[in-house]
């Protein structure tokens, strides 16, 4: 009953918060104004992900009783909301994220006592900040962040409950998936409200934190990261090609594969978002199966997936563009 009520609370909070943002966004200056890098063409309210954030913090404080982690999540949500309202500089954002990530790694992994664990500690810091920003980078068309959250945290909930017996992560993941479900009617197939940084940064940060918390071995790590495979692969490959072209990696852009498909190729947003979510679900299910086998199956899965993704990335990017303007497609 408690799980059901938590899930219901998350759906309601997310939906009500999105409706409030939709109604009062202009008066509180939470409006996304389109520019040359946008995939939309009309001003749209943002910050709709605040309900997802609030729901998880409530569950963390009153149900799982993880007060330290809940406090960290609160700070993450506040920073995301400030970014939606004021647009912070990239340096302030990165510094803040590294500081917050330090507390998460300290909470779940402890302080590094040896040289080897110092390197692992640094890896986790970079992993959390990277995942946080990858999720934010990929939140650029209707429904993609909400559907990815629904599928990714749904897989996380299943894996943590039925495989790892981690009931606290299960409950929080279920709450996040439910929050994404409550938000989606406002953002998919057409976007009346954007999730905003308060949602996308928050979801990426929490996902990475769960990976740190549960990765007792490399097998678990390999499995869980595949739950966010489409975001990791698109963001990583795009960064690589931008770096090879000598572009400023700190500058905003719309070079991701999902953006190319929806903007330059003119595919409806909902089709691209559904494609990414479907691939994510299929690969995630296979990743759980591979985990139950052995590490060799997991490595083969990751190699095959990477090869297929890079091949498709290059083939799709080679298609001649048909659209040269922002696309609010349904």
Residue 229 has pLDDT above 70, yes or no: yes
* pLDDT one-digit tens code per residue, 43-92: 889 999 999 999 999 999 999 999 999 999 999 999 999 998 887 888 88
Average pLDDT over residues 219-228: 98
Q: Which parts of 114-143 fold into alpha helices (H)?
A: 115-137
Q: Average pLDDT, stretch 217-232? A: 98
What are the pLDDT digits (tens) for 302-313?
A: 999 999 999 999
pLDDT reported for residue 115:
78
Number of helices followed by number of strands (H, E) in the chain: 13, 2
In angstroms, the Cα distances linking 262 to 126, 227, 254, 330 are: 30, 23, 10, 10
Residue 273 has a pLDDT of: 97
Q: What is the mean pLDDT of the chain?
A: 92
CB atoms within 10 A of CB 280: 23
- Between CA 214 and CA 166 the distance in angstroms is 8
Please compute the mean of the pLDDT values over residues 27-49 and round it to a whole number.
Answer: 75
Q: How far apart are CA 309 and CA 282, in angstroms?
A: 14
User: Model confidence over 129-155: pLDDT tens digits?
Assistant: 999 999 999 998 999 999 999 999 999
Tell me if 202 sits within 8 A of 135, measured CB to CB. Answer: no
Q: What are 246's two structure tokens?
A: 């000598």
Structure tokens at 72: 């960290």
Rounded distance, CA 139 to CA 198, Å? Answer: 12
pLDDT digits 0-9 by tens, 8-17: 999 999 999 9
At residue 40, the pLDDT reads 67
Q: Where are the domains of the chain?
A: 2-35+44-317
- Is 31 in a helix, a strand, or coil? strand
Per-residue model confidence (pLDDT) at position 184:
97
List, as one string, the DSSP characters of 52-121. HHHHHHHHHHHTS--HHHHHHHHHHHHHHHHHHHH---HHHHHHHHHHHHHHHHHHHH----SHHHHHHH
The reported pLDDT for the residue numbered 36 is 60
Q: What is the DSSP string of 150-206?
A: HHHHHHHHHIIIIIS--HHHHHHHHHHHHHHHHHGGGTSSS-SSB--HHHHHHHHHH
C-alpha–C-alpha distance, residues 32 and 193, integer Å: 9
31 forms bridges with which residues in the sheet?
Answer: 45
Give pLDDT tens digits for 100-118: 999 999 999 876 677 778 8
**Model-level pTM?**
0.95
Mean pLDDT of 151-176: 97
- List residues bridging with 44 in a β-sheet: 32
Q: What is the mean pLDDT of residues 192-210?
A: 96
> Which of 23-32, 187-196, 288-297 shows the lowest per-residue confidence on average (mean pLDDT)?
23-32
Structure tokens at 150: 């629904």
Q: Which two tokens stand for residue 304?
A: 């095959």
Name which of 38-52, 85-99, 168-182, 278-292 the model is least confident about.
Answer: 38-52
Provide the 10 A C-beta neighbour count for residue 110.
10
CA separation for the pair 182, 15 (Å, rounded): 5
* pLDDT > 70: percent of the chain: 94
């Amino acid at each position: 009953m408690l799980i059901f009520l938590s899930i219901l609370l998350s759906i309601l909070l997310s939906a009500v918060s999105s409706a409030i943002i939709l109604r009062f966004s202009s008066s509180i200056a939470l409006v996304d104004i389109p520019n040359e890098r946008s995939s939309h063409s009309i001003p749209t309210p943002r910050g709709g992900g605040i309900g997802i954030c609030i729901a998880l913090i409530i569950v963390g404080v009153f149900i799982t009783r993880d007060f330290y982690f809940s406090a960290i999540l609160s700070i993450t949500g506040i920073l995301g909301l400030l970014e939606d309202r004021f647009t912070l500089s990239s340096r302030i954002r990165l510094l803040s994220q590294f500081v917050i990530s330090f507390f998460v790694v300290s909470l779940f992994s402890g302080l590094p006592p040896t040289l080897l664990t110092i390197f692992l500690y640094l890896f986790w810091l970079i992993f959390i900040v990277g995942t946080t920003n990858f999720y934010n980078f990929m939140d650029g068309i209707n429904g993609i962040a909400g559907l990815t959250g629904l599928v990714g945290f749904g897989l996380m909930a299943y894996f943590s409950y039925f495989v790892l017996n981690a009931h606290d992560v299960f409950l929080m993941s279920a709450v996040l998936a439910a929050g994404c479900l409550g938000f989606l009617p406002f953002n998919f197939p057409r976007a009346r409200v954007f999730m905003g940084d308060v949602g996308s940064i928050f979801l990426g940060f929490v996902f990475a934190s769960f990976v740190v918390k549960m990765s007792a071995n490399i097998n678990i790590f390999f499995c869980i990261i595949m739950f966010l495979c489409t975001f990791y692969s698109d963001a990583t490959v795009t960064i690589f090609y931008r770096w090879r072209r000598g572009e400023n990696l700190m500058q905003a852009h719309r070079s991701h594969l999902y953006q190319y498909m929806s903007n330059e190729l003119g595919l409806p947003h909902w089709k691209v978002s559904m494609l990414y979510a479907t691939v994510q679900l299929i690969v995630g299910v296979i990743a759980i199966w591979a985990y139950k086998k052995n590490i060799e199956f997991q490595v083969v899965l990751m190699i095959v997936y990477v090869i297929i993704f890079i091949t498709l990335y290059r083939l799709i990017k080679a298609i001649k563009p048909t659209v040269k303007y922002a696309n609010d497609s349904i």
